[in-house]
């Protein structure tokens, strides 16, 4: 049976709904259209996303306008809530009416026999609708919301991940030390080599041998799903998440040893910068000395947004391990899971029955509840918790960005108004995020479905559920 519903959900006028959609799209954020990563391959979904259609015979206007920067303002506008008992006379204006709208949509056969739901008013924290809301379910990639929240809470949004180079006391060996930054790219690696060469020339040391240190991470490097195009070996040193092609996100061929590949590339760059490297790079410990040079990732807030927008598995695992390090736990799958759970408990969230077997959601042993996800989103909307705000600004925008770029065709009322993290494994489909209602409220929702027959049926059903919360008529 549905849990108690508290306040009145309003539909508003069509004109107001369109206005809100325009505002949400305008403030959607500077993210490009993305494609599913682990989710798409695991669900055997088609390779789509962004614009991949043959050009029409004659020029035609785009189906939807492109999103424009920038995200933060939409949250400022939506955080003040209307009084909890206000109503505009909508057909979905009372708790019972909200149940009447959602219950038939939850009964869609495309969602399979296992389904849970939670809808919360972010301004009051009150649950407006619940169906098995506290039941732990396999979340797929919606677990990235929990992973990102734990990292932001433990480290703060300004934290940056460092990659360093340190010289041995005799100056004959330098060590490239990974800090766990999967976003290290060729340009930053080149700049790091240039700075290292400059420092070595000042000291008069050349040539050198190169070692590389990945000891920050412990335990198995290969995810339990095995070698996979959706995730590289989880190591503290890598360039572009071990990708062997030019893709910025999504499935891609991966290097089997991204740390060695990065060290080999660094050695070539160091030689090109005027410091010859003798022999092949080899694993070795970091000397106890001040680094010669270092490079930093973007701030954690940016990494979280990228993780959520593009469902980046490699970044999610890095965020989980950074949380483990903050808790002084081993930076392994097991240590990261314990740290994420402990950090969420510290935030006062319902963690009973939860399990974080990984940070990305690829592991089917992950368990979270719909109530936990809406609790996280509600805290992120709290003006008193600005550090968690990237949880909201990083969510893909329905019909426009990231893993929602090609969604909401069957639920256009949610396009531009729904911002949500997707989750897809074979037989598992989930959606958790926020939606703006016509009267200016911000709702957090989570819909988790298990034993689903097909992503092609489950995903449109989830889109219709979230679009219904926008107070618009369903197609």
Structure tokens at 120: 């919360």
CB-CB neighbours of 76 under 10 Å: 11
DSSP state for residue 355 in the 8-state scheme: B
Strand partners, 266: none
CA distance 464 to 421: 15
Place of tokens 């991966």: 254
How many degrees, rounded to 5, is the angle at CA 317 between CA 280 and CA 329?
A: 90
Contact status, residue 129 vs residue 89, Cβ threshold 8 Å = no
Q: Which of 90, 144, 249, 360 is catalytic?
A: 144
Contact status, residue 259 vs residue 235, Cβ threshold 8 Å = yes
Residues in the chain: 475
CA distance 109 to 282: 55
Residue 70: phi and psi, rounded to 5, are -140, 160
> What's the chain's Rg over C-alpha atoms?
23
CA distance 39 to 407: 14
Catalytic annotation present for 144: yes
Ranges of beta strands (E only) in 2-149 are 114-121, 127-131
CA distance 161 to 179: 6
Q: How far is CA 446 from CA 41, 182, 211, 310, 372, in A?
A: 23, 29, 47, 19, 9
DSSP state for residue 235 in the 8-state scheme: -
CA distance 237 to 245: 18
Q: Which of 141, 249, 297, 466 is catalytic?
A: 141
CA distance 65 to 105: 29
CA distance 448 to 428: 8
Nearest-CA neighbor of 141 among 343, 338, 451, 420?
Answer: 420
In terms of Cβ atoms closer than 10 Å to its own Cβ (0-12, 13-18, 19+), residue 107 is: exposed
Strand partners, 436: 442
Catalytic annotation present for 87: no
Q: Which of 90, 311, 360, 369 is catalytic?
A: 311
CA distance 68 to 352: 40
Helix (H) or strand (E) holding 334: helix 333-346
Nearest-CA neighbor of 438 among 414, 462, 410?
Answer: 414
Contact status, residue 133 vs residue 371, Cβ threshold 8 Å = yes
Query: What amino acid positions are annotated as catalytic residues?
Result: 141, 144, 311
């Amino acid at each position: 049976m549905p849990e108690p519903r508290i306040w009145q959900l309003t539909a508003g006028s069509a004109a107001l709904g369109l206005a809100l959609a325009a505002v949400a799209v305008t403030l959607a954020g500077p993210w490009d259209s993305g494609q599913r990563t682990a989710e798409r391959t695991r669900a055997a979904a088609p390779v789509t996303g962004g614009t991949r259609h043959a050009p029409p015979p004659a020029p035609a206007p785009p189906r939807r306008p492109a999103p424009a920067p920038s995200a933060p303002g939409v949250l400022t506008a939506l955080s003040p809530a209307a009084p909890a008992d206000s109503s505009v006379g909508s057909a979905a204006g009372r708790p019972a009416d909200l149940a009447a709208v959602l219950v038939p949509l939850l009964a869609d056969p495309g969602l399979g026999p296992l389904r849970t739901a939670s809808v919360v008013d972010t301004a009051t924290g009150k649950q407006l609708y619940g169906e098995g809301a506290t039941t732990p379910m396999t979340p797929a990639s919606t677990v990235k919301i929990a992973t990102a929240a734990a990292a932001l809470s433990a480290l703060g949004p300004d934290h940056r991940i460092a990659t360093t180079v340190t010289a041995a006391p005799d100056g004959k060996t330098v060590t490239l030390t990974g800090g766990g930054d999967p976003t290290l790219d060729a340009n930053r690696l080149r700049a790091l080599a240039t700075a290292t060469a400059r420092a070595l020339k000042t000291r008069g040391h050349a040539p050198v041998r190169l070692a590389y240190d990945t000891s920050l991470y412990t335990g198995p490097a290969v995810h339990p799903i095995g070698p996979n195009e959706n995730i590289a070996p989880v190591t503290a040193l890598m360039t572009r998440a071990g990708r062997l092609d030019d893709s910025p996100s999504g499935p891609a061929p991966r290097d089997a040893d991204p740390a060695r590949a990065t060290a080999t590339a660094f050695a070539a760059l160091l030689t090109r910068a005027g410091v010859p490297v003798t022999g092949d790079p080899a694993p070795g410990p970091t000397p106890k000395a001040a680094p010669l040079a270092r490079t930093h990732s973007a701030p954690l807030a940016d990494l979280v947004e990228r993780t959520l927008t593009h469902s980046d598995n490699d970044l999610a695992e890095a965020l989980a391990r950074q949380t483990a390090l903050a808790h002084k736990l081993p930076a392994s799958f097991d240590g990261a899971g314990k740290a994420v759970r402990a950090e969420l408990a510290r935030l006062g969230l319902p963690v009973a029955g939860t399990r974080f077997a990984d940070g990305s959601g690829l592991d089917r042993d992950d368990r979270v509840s719909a109530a936990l996800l809406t609790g996280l989103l509600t805290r992120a909307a709290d003006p008193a918790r600005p550090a968690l705000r990237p949880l909201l600004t990083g969510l893909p925008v329905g019909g426009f960005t990231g893993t929602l770029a090609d969604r909401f065709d069957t639920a256009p009322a949610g396009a531009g108004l729904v911002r949500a993290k997707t989750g897809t494994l074979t037989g598992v489909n989930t959606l958790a995020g926020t939606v703006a209602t016509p009267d200016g409220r911000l709702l957090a929702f989570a819909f988790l479905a298990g034993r689903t027959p097909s992503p092609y049926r489950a995903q449109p059903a989830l889109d219709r559920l979230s679009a219904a919360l926008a107070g618009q008529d369903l197609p």
